[in-house]
Amino acid sequence: MQFLEENIQAFDGTSLNVYRWLPDEAKAAILISHGWSEHAGRYGDLAHWFAEQGYEVHAYDHRGHGKSGGLRGHVRRWDDYVQDLELVRNTIAQEQQYLLGHSMGGLIAVRYLLTHQSNFRAVALSGPGLDVSYPVPLVKVLLSKALSALWPTLRFDGEVDPQIVCGKTEVVEAYQHDPFNHGKVSARWFVEYLRAVAMVKDGAQSLVTPIAIWHGEKDALVEPWVSQQFFGLMRGEHKQYQLLPDLLHEILFEDNWQDTAGQIKLWFEQF
């Protein structure tokens, strides 16, 4: 297997850091879209596992994340993420491609599908951040919109308790000490996130790409009702939902992550 790490330039000149795990003989490719505040480099074990199954794996740090350029936790508009995903996808030579999106990366993935329905054979979502788990006070929304217009790069701490990220102590400790986990949210990012949530809900019925969702039963960061609600909105012929007992948010880092990866592999192999 060959491992590559490189930088490519986005439409606006932002540098995107891309990782590639390339087996000697690949039957298809998987593109990973990671979550908020983290980075694609964390998915090495998962990527190696899929590479051993005969899949190329490509992953990249979203703008404002990891080793990519951009202000940490900020985005000008959500469609910038969509354009970045399509840019990276176009660098993949394999004709048969699948998409795996986790948390915020799941929202990016679904927003992408609204305008690029036929580029991936199938999509797998892990604890997708398709809504906010708690009610957002109207005053906070209005204040965020005002700040987004007047001072879009003003950033706040995301205030995520690392203990609710994963059930494995070593994963939590690594998450806490990872210099690439920034924990920042800008005023513009939050407004764009809410806008993207509304867009994917409105467009859910039009999705035809096969989509499967896996969600941890005890996920307190993105509660399961979020993905269950979205699953109910979808009208596509091929869809699947799996609630994983006793697991927290990062299901692909828990002790049984290979079981979940195996289910994702079986899902992809149907298409």
pLDDT digits (tens, 9 = 90+) for 43-63: 999 999 999 999 999 999 999
The whole-number pLDDT of residue 4 equals: 97
Closest CA to 70 of 177, 156, 182: 182
Residue 255: exposed, middle, or buried by beta-carbon count in 10 A (0-12, 13-18, 19+)?
Answer: exposed
Query: How far is it, in rounded angstroms, from Cα 227 to Cα 218?
Result: 13
Average pLDDT over residues 238-253: 98
> What is the reported pLDDT for 161?
86
What is the per-residue pLDDT for 142?
Answer: 81
Distance (Å, whole) CA 152 – CA 69: 17
- Is a pLDDT exceeding 80 seen at residue 84? yes
Q: Taking 80 as the threshold, does the pLDDT of residue 136 lie above it?
A: no
Residue 146 — φ and ψ, nearest 5°? Answer: -65, -45
Report the mean per-residue pLDDT for the chain: 95
Dump pLDDT digits (tens) for 175-207. 999 999 999 999 999 999 999 999 999 999 999
Out of 3.30.360.10, 3.40.50.720, 3.40.50.1820, 3.40.50.2300, the CATH code matching 2-268 is: 3.40.50.1820
Asked whether the beta carbons of 126 and 214 are under 8 A apart, the reply is yes
Q: Give me the mean pLDDT over the 226-249 stretch.
A: 97
pLDDT in the model for residue 159: 74
Domain coordinates in residue numbering, the chain: 2-268
